[in-house]
């Protein structure tokens, strides 16, 4: 079992390439099964960071990671982990969310990366990691990674 101590780390990046490099470095910290919520306004760099995460898992090349704004879910298969890249920007109701069948994606070797996951309260409870991206300049971003403590199974 992977024991995750709660922690928060903040990093500043100064280019999209630096954010991609950060994503590659983060991949080993996202042990499956893992639900990651990425927050930040449009153009903050959520998809850009996921390019690096996908490379870190050897699941996709950065140029093959694109925004699933219309298709809603992209799947990238790595040797050890399957990534699901989800964009909930256009998903507004719990019923629409239901039709995506995200529950079925959470296998033992899954890492689920949710853009706009904060729109739905359930992901506040179910997320293992929150990554917040703030635009602090044209090419500057403040990226905060917040690992939730290992959730305990319910008693009884
Ligand atoms: P989101 O998915 O949050 O809407 P994207 O990753 O699609 O955002 O877009 C981020 C845009 O900002 C890209 O055009 C990227 O090249 C640009 N950018 C500039 N500087 C950075 C940086 N430091 N980190 C991430 N993206 C950056
Ligand atoms: Mg995006």
Residue 42 alpha carbon, nearest atom of ligand 1: 4
pLDDT at residue 5 is higher than 80:
no
- The DSSP-derived string for 14-72 is SSHHHHHHHHHHHGGG-PSSEEEEEE--TTSSHHHHHHHHHHHTTS--GGG----TTT-
Residue 18 alpha carbon, nearest atom of ligand 1: 23
Higher pLDDT pick, 26 / 69:
26
The tens digit of pLDDT for each residue in 59-110 reads 999 999 999 988 899 999 999 999 999 999 999 999 999 999 999 999 999 9
Atom 6 of ligand 1, nearest CA residue = 45
The tens digit of pLDDT for each residue in 138-155 reads 999 999 999 876 544 444
- State the pTM of this model: 0.93
Q: How far from 119 is each of 38, 90, 94, 123, CA to CA, in Å? A: 11, 10, 10, 8
Q: What is the mean pLDDT of residues 12-40?
A: 97
Please state, rounded to an integer, the average pLDDT across all residues of the chain: 92
Atom 20 of ligand 1, nearest CA residue = 139
pLDDT of residue 152: 46
């Amino acid at each position: 079992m992977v024991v995750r101590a709660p922690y928060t780390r903040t990093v500043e990046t100064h280019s999209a390439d630096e954010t991609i490099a950060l994503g590659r470095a983060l991949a080993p910290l996202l042990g499956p099964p893992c639900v990651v919520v990425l927050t930040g306004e449009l153009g903050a760099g959520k998809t850009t960071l996921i390019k690096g995460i996908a490379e870190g898992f050897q699941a996709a090349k950065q140029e093959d990671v694109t925004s699933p704004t219309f298709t809603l879910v992209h799947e990238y298969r790595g040797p050890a982990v399957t990534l699901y890249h989800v964009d909930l920007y256009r998903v507004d109701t719990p019923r629409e969310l239901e039709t995506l069948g995200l529950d079925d994606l959470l296998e033992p070797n899954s890492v689920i990366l949710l853009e706009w996951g904060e729109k739905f309260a359930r992901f506040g409870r179910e997320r293992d990691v929150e990554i917040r991206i703030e635009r602090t300049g044209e090419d500057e971003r403040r990226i905060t990674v917040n690992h939730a403590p290992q959730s305990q199974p319910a008693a009884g």
